[in-house]
Structure 1
Amino acid sequence: GLTSRPGCVPSPLNPTPWAPRAARLSSSGAVFIMLKSALGAGLLNFPWAFHKAGGVSAAIVVEMVSLVFLISGLVILGHASFISGQSTYQGVVREVCGRAIGWLCEVCFVFNLFMISVAFLVVVQDQLEKCELDLTEVPHHWYTDQRFALFLICLLVIVPLSIPKEIRTQKYSSVLGTLAATYLSAAVIVKYYTEGDHVYRGHLLPSFVHQCHEASVAIYSSMENKTLSHWVLVSVVSMFFCLLIYSLTGIFGYLTFGKDVAADILMSYPGDDIAMIIARLLFGISIITIYPITLLLGRSVIQDLLLRCRWQCTLVTPLSESRSRMVLTLTWIAVTLLIAIFVPDISEVISVIGGISAFFIFIFPGMMLMHVPLFLCCMITVMAVL
């Protein structure tokens, strides 16, 4: 068994801090994981959001203002992780802001990430259903049903991707997911220049974007170079490419259909458009690659709680950690899958998720900022803006 250092409770993302040093996350890997965490289902809604914002100019202004706060929050979280020595978001909040705020963070964190996981599976099922409707010549059988396909995806893809305990293992799937999301943006641009308007009004897709702030502390803690200037660079590069993909999709999707753009941009194109059918399939892949990151972060909170409860009375061995991780992973996937299949209408819950996400983007980073010296706060903010 493992022996402990007095007063040291290991993090689920780094269960044995005194163990031999594992391979660290490269800068490119950190950028891809951060970028993939931010490229959620909201990408499909961005052309519609441009319409609701009053056009391209107004939407771009809102994006640029938001970008300053997003990058500032990431920088604050990275610095707070450094000064606290914690490798998880909830650990940083508990260490910097106190135990009571830490408990609030853990409750919100688990609920938010769990419901986001459900929403991701609902989106994937939605894409599978629309692909099935587009391919009308395919006969309907139980094995062609989108619910069975979703089960197979969870069993054969999501489970293997979700088992690893370190977020750095997600860098390869994050590259694939980022490329899949980039294809959607490229396809919208190409269609703008090559084809006329094709308006098809579809139903409203749940609008949410999985923010990368929840994953930022885990990403920072896994990096090889943890200097503040390097973390600022990673944050700026990640958010720049994220802004580029979202903006291009929003601009050209909106310019193609104007006020008639559907809430789901893919529903504005003909159902027999092969390029857009591919885009829908690839976007489903993009969402699938985000799910393991969400699960890993939510699982870390539960494991952290279990470790705090058990560390005083028993030894934590690699075998017990592995077993608990496996059980939590399979339980998380099974429960979210059942909810996604039997309770597909979660639009009301999605609106709650958006409100809770604001805590992790603005509220908690702001509270951390209150514990940082004034001159350092100014330096972080200036560096983030630049």
Structure 2
Amino acid sequence: MGVPSDAPAGGASALSSVFTLLNSAVGAGVLSLPFAFREAGWAGCLLMTLAVAIIEAFTLYVLARYAEVTGSGTYSDLVRKMLGRKASLAMSLVLIIYSYGSATAYLIILGDCFQPMLAQTFGQVWWTERDLVIFVLATLFMLPLCFPRTLDAISGFSSVTAYALCVVVGMVMYRSLQALQAPHYKWSDVHAFTSVGSSLNALPILAFGFQCHTNLVAVFAELEEEPDLFAGGGDDASSADEEPPVTPAHPQEDDTAPGTVSEEAAAAAAPAPEAEQRVMLLHNPRRRFVRSTVRTPKLLGMVQIVSAAICLTAGFYSAVGLFGYLNFPTTAHSNILLNYSGDDRLMQMARVLMGIIQIIHYPVNHFPARNATRDLLAQLTGRQLQSSAFNSAEVLGFFVATLGLSLVITDLGQVFKLIGGSCGSFFIFGMPGAFCLQYAYSKHITAREGLQESLLADEEAREVPRPGGSQTQYHVLASKLFWAGVLLLIFAVGLLSLTIYSLVSPST
């Protein structure tokens, strides 16, 4: 039974969407950036940060572009429409596992940030024990933020993350500048580059540091129709507004010239049943999604939002990583706050702010888990679960499960790294790569039938049959997006292999 899209009506502003994506990306991983710089060297890690940021920005654009074409409201819904039901089921399971692991980590970090400070201030008494601190703070602050059904509903809290992170970055930079001015500081311990093996250890940290893919489709679905992060509108947006009325077309009847509005907008506005809308890899597609020659204002705005969120994240990470590394070039821990003395009141404030970031980050990362759970149950039962009772039950179940794990496990360590490495590589690089391969194959099949259609790349514009019946030849191996998809899949497999190697290697 098909599961219809449950994308909410757009209304979120561009600025609030930037904050939501930023909050989705910036979490516990920011504390590990100085360690990553220690592993790769300051110049090597900066170059790797730039490369990873560009790659992940591209994958975010791929997700937004396909979400627009299919009218998807969640990542799992997008996978179902593009790759089929089995792929969507796998995607939902992966998202649930990843979200549970991430949320458990936030609870553990919450205790690590507040419990030592409370114990030092009030002494080691029963109400400063780690378990009670986590339980009370999580129940009072994290749980209520999980009940809203849209990300935009907590966007105001999400903006606090950016401000708090700026202050933490400033504190780390200040302590680093103090250390650099000390007469005994050894610049010989600072390295621009390290060995290849050591540098590769930093790659998983950087890759997952930019992860906001689980919320991207939902953010795009909630976005207002004509977002503009900057003052004024662009020419592209106005030209998109002047497009002719949308009319559906069938492949066998498509004889329009470039520039004529095609099936894409109609498919997005009124999605077809799953049997018609889904495009299966290695099978002839029953329905092809043809892009318009002009990008919609919503997608143009999403490009601005993704660019701003990735640039801000890269800037924060580079500052924290570089200055934290300069302060502790040989001893930087995977949690940089552990390098500072418990008597350092400035860094105590940094711990408080990082705890606040975890409080806000928890409900934002719970959102994809709820969507994945709903999609999974809908595909298994054929029923849409949108009631308040389901929402409350899912929130309480998620909270109790993650809270229980955080009270039992004091340090996720290698277990969390394995979950993040395997699950994260799947939906950050693997699924966008599969989408690119799907597009290239669908275009290849279409070319054999006598039509050329374009979806993601402007330079691969739609071609029409030539006079006399001769067709422009196209092959899947000639597609840029095919090779982009191959590279993304290789990157996903390589990242998973690196994660597993780092877990079993005796040197780690």
TM range (shorter): 0.7 to 0.9
Verify the 8 A CA contact 2:21 2:216 in the aligned structure 1: yes
Counterpart selection for 1:335 from 391, 401, 419: 401
Verify the 8 A CA contact 2:104 2:403 in the aligned structure 1: yes
CA distance, structure 1, for counterparts of residue 219 and residue 394 of structure 2: 21
What residue number does 1:324 align with? Answer: 390
Verify the 8 A CA contact 2:11 2:223 in the aligned structure 1: yes
Counterpart selection for 1:351 from 391, 411, 417: 417
CA distance, structure 2, for counterparts of residue 109 and residue 8 of structure 1: 18
CA distance, structure 1, for counterparts of residue 355 and residue 74 of structure 2: 28
Verify the 8 A CA contact 2:223 2:298 in the aligned structure 1: no
Matched, 1:47 2:31: no
Q: What are the superposed Cα offsets for residues 134-172 of structure 1, whole Å, 9 maximum, x if unpaired? A: x2x522222222321211222211111000111111211
Say which is worse superposed, 154-163 or 240-249, in terms of deviation.
Answer: 154-163
User: Partner letter of residue 151 of structure 1?
Assistant: F
What residue number does 2:505 align with? Answer: none
The equivalences for 1:1-386 within 5 A come to 9-11=4-6, 14=8, 24-53=11-40, 55-132=41-118, 135=120, 137-195=121-179, 209=209, 211-225=211-225, 227-309=298-380, 321-352=387-418, 353-372=420-439, 376-379=455-458
Tell me: higher relative CO, structure 1 or 2? Use CA pairs within 8 A at least 6 residues apart: 1
Distance 1:51 1:379, change over 3 A: farther
1:308, distance to aligned residue in structure 2 (A):
4.2
User: Partner letter of residue 42 of structure 2?
Assistant: V
User: Partner letter of residue 33 of structure 1?
Assistant: T
Verify the 8 A CA contact 2:14 2:305 in the aligned structure 1: yes
3-state SS of 2:124 partner: coil
User: Partner letter of residue 175 of structure 2?
Assistant: K
CA distance, structure 1, for counterparts of residue 379 and residue 164 of structure 2: 39
Structure 2, unaligned runs of 5 or more: 186-203, 226-296, 444-453, 460-479, 482-508
3-state SS of 1:370 partner: helix
TM-score by length of 2: 0.65
3-state SS of 1:214 partner: helix
CA distance, structure 2, for counterparts of residue 267 and residue 348 of structure 1: 18
3-state SS of 2:27 partner: coil
1:228, distance to aligned residue in structure 2 (A):
2.1
Q: What are the superposed Cα offsets for residues 63-101 of structure 1, whole Å, 9 maximum, x if unpaired? A: 111111110000000011111111000110110111121
Q: What are the superposed Cα offsets for residues 334-380 of structure 1, whole Å, 9 maximum, x if unpaired? A: 11101100122322321222221011111101111223367644449
CA distance, structure 2, for counterparts of residue 308 and residue 58 of structure 1: 45
CA distance, structure 2, for counterparts of residue 8 and residue 66 of structure 1: 34
CA distance, structure 1, for counterparts of residue 209 and residue 108 of structure 2: 14
Q: What are the superposed Cα offsets for residues 9-52 of structure 1, whole Å, 9 maximum, x if unpaired? A: 353x64xxxxxx5x711000000000011101111111111010
Distance 1:8 1:48, change over 3 A: closer
1:294, distance to aligned residue in structure 2 (A):
1.4
3-state SS of 1:259 partner: coil
User: Partner letter of residue 12 of structure 2?
Assistant: L
Aligned residues: 355
1:271, distance to aligned residue in structure 2 (A):
1.6
User: Partner letter of residue 227 of structure 1?
Assistant: K
Verify the 8 A CA contact 1:10 1:307 in the aligned structure 2: no
Note the aligned Cα RMSD (angstroms). 2.6
CA distance, structure 1, for counterparts of residue 57 and residue 93 of structure 2: 25
CA distance, structure 2, for counterparts of residue 10 and residue 73 of structure 1: 22
Whichever structure has more helix as a proportion of its residues is 1
User: Partner letter of residue 367 of structure 1?
Assistant: A
CA distance, structure 1, for counterparts of residue 327 and residue 3 of structure 2: 57
Distance 1:210 1:240, change over 3 A: closer
Q: What are the superposed Cα offsets for residues 92-131 of structure 1, whole Å, 9 maximum, x if unpaired? A: 0110111121111111111111111111111111222332
3-state SS of 1:260 partner: coil
3-state SS of 1:372 partner: helix
CA distance, structure 1, for counterparts of residue 97 and residue 317 of structure 2: 26
Verify the 8 A CA contact 2:53 2:210 in the aligned structure 1: no
User: Partner letter of residue 77 of structure 1?
Assistant: L
CA distance, structure 2, for counterparts of residue 210 and residue 71 of structure 1: 9
User: Partner letter of residue 303 of structure 2?
Assistant: V
3-state SS of 2:400 partner: helix
User: Partner letter of residue 4 of structure 2?
Assistant: V
Say which is worse superposed, 190-199 or 354-363, in terms of deviation.
Answer: 190-199
3-state SS of 1:211 partner: coil
1:275, distance to aligned residue in structure 2 (A):
0.9
Verify the 8 A CA contact 2:142 2:362 in the aligned structure 1: yes
3-state SS of 1:272 partner: coil
1:243, distance to aligned residue in structure 2 (A):
0.4
1:309, distance to aligned residue in structure 2 (A):
4.9
